[in-house]
Amino acid sequence: MKVLILNGGADNPSLDSSIQDLKHKLSDKGVDTGELVLRDMKYSPCIGCFTCWVKTPGLCVFKDDGNVICREVLHSDFLLLASPVKTGYVSALIKNALDRIIPLIHPYLEDIDGEVHHMKRYEKYPVMGLLLEKGGDTDDEDITIISDIFQRAALNLRSRLSFVNLTTKPAEETANEIISN
Amino acid sequence: MKLSVINGSPRGAAGNTEKLLEHFIKGFIETGGNSVEKYYVFRSRPGFDNLKKVYLESEMLLIAFPLYVDAMPGSVKEFFESLEEMKGKRPDLKIMFVIQNGFPETYHNRFVERYCEKLVKRLGCIYTGSICKGGCEGLTVQPPALVEKVFNGFYNAGRSFGETGELNTEIITKLAHPEHLKPENLPQVIPMINNFLWDGMLKHNNAFDKKFDKPFE
């Protein structure tokens, strides 16, 4: 099993240390775990040009770290998005990274349980999980809204949302939840 | 009334969001004395200084964006984060949203709509509602009658808002139709979008034979 953690913290020593704890727990259990620290990567926000869907299918117009993110996400079994809750949502670092993985899916639409969603480009996509660090003004409603939006995002990225955990939950439990997928 | 319109589409003035806004604005300014100023999120990155000024000085804000991965585009999230420092500074500011998506159903927008309402509460401003609309990708290649209906809906919503200062529930509910497609319509709508919109663009770009490429495999 291969786990990829996207670290979406800007300057969050406490989130970084939660991620370190989790990585140790996972490697103790023999799980291959990688981490991309998004603040150290260079990638443009998606500009909605659709080059990746209709000009060079599967490839973004930008030749930057967005390609690294795509490759690593595709080749993982579990994708953990680790983010501070900022302005009631995952950080812009995470959101810009997610916007850049649409080359992994196909523009074609299909009927999935009575709703229209995108077709797969590849056979298999990682299961998703969220590890959130609450901010000073984060409340339960924020967490519910984030969870509901990511249920939808997982559906559209042809994945499945396994859990939304807070960094206050013991790393051991999050590690076990990842492994159970 | 003075309305400040912030277009959050990364495609800026060339995108579908802009077209919808044009029709809303056309209706809005029909009431004498109403005026509009337009701004763009993407070209205001990364500091958003002009937009912060707009936030501090406007009477009413309309923030519009296309749905990206079931939420606001990342660049719009950057803008929202930049507003954190202004929490509580504008208790009199009215904020509304236009959220459009490319799927044929409006339902996809209903989740980020809840986020938008909460954002306004978080900033301590007054939420005046959201206009949600699906089916907005490829407005230039859709049958003209369909597009006309969408544009008219935005025009009517703008005109009514310009007269009353409130979004008319009946107009925006009608505009949002269909929330979901009927099971019998799915087999007609899906091939139409795949064949006309996507295949059309793929062929135009000589990329049709590469459409199932898997460059990262």
pLDDT tens track for A53-105? 999 999 999 999 999 999 999 999 999 999 999 999 999 999 999 999 999 99
pLDDT at position A110, please? 97
63-102 in A: which are within 8 Å (CB) of B? 70-71, 74-75, 86-89, 91-92, 95-99, 102
Domain assignment present for B216: no
Q: Domain check: are B152 and B199 in the same one?
A: no
pLDDT at position B143, please? 85
pLDDT at position B142, please? 84
Element (DSSP H or E) covering residue A142: helix A140-156
Query: Chain B within 8 Å of A112 (Cβ-Cβ)?
Result: no
**Structural domain for B92, as ranges:** 2-180
Q: pTM higher than 0.90 for the full model? A: yes
SS3 category, B70: coil
Q: What is the CATH number of the domain that holds B135?
A: 3.40.50.360
pLDDT tens, position by position, A101-159? 999 999 999 999 999 999 999 999 999 999 999 999 999 999 999 999 999 999 999 99
Predicted ipTM beyond 0.90:
yes
Q: In what order do the strands lie in the sheet with B2-7?
A: B35-40, B2-7, B60-66, B94-100, B126-133
Best residue in B69, B84, B120 to probe A by mutation, most A CBs within 10 Å? Answer: B69
pLDDT tens, position by position, A22-58? 999 999 999 999 999 999 999 999 999 999 999 999 9
Q: CB-hemisphere CA count at 13 Å for B31?
A: 20
Domain assignment present for B217: no
Q: Domain check: are B73 and B115 in the same one?
A: yes
pLDDT at position B139, please? 85
Q: Domain check: are B118 and B173 in the same one?
A: yes
pLDDT at position B113, please? 98
Q: Could you identify the residue written with the tokens 């990155």? A: B45
- Domains, chain A: 2-179 (3.40.50.360)
SS3 category, A56: coil
Instruction: Tell me how far apart the alpha carbons of residues A4 and A157 are, in angstroms, rounded to a whole number.
Output: 16
Residue B140: is its pLDDT beyond 80? no
Domain assignment present for B48: yes
Contact A114/B119, CB-based, under 8 Å? no
Q: Domain check: are B58 and B87 in the same one?
A: yes
Query: Chain A within 8 Å of B43 (Cβ-Cβ)?
Result: no
